[in-house]
Amino acid sequence: MVGIVIVSHSRELADSIVEFTKMMAPEALIRAAGGMDDGTLGTSYEKIYQAIEDVYSEDGVLVMMDMGSAVMTTEMVLEEMSDKKIEMIDCPIVEGAVAATVTASAGVDFEEVKQNALEAKTAAKF
């Protein structure tokens, strides 16, 4: 199953997105990497690395970030893990996470999970 990692400056935000997606896809492989180790706002290389390791399989991992240093720190982690199937994805973090986890839990392949998350950019809310 494709793994999903949510990277945010806020531990609470990342944890809440994971909690929200688990209501719709409880078996999804999703982890939060939010905030610093001391609970303050920021991004942690170690948290991102460990979250990816926790959900990694040959099916791959998609990483969704909120902004700024979350993107830069994730890029640094991915440089070290360049031998693995991991991609950062530019999508709305909540809507993309829901689309990705629901699709991934259905057992579809990496590209389809990625495409569903990307389509969240243009999905109408009403």
Among 9, 11, 31, 47, the active-site one is 9
Q: How far apart are the first and last CA of the chain?
A: 31
Cα separation, 12 vs 15, in Å, equals 5
CA angle 46, 106, 112 (to 5 degrees): 75
What sections of 25-88 are H helices per DSSP?
45-55, 69-80
Is residue 7 annotated as a catalytic residue, yes or no? no
Cα 92 to Cα 48, 50, 64, 85, 89: the distances in Å are 18, 23, 8, 21, 9
Question: By three-state DSSP, how is residue 61 classified?
Answer: strand
Catalytic residue ranges: 9
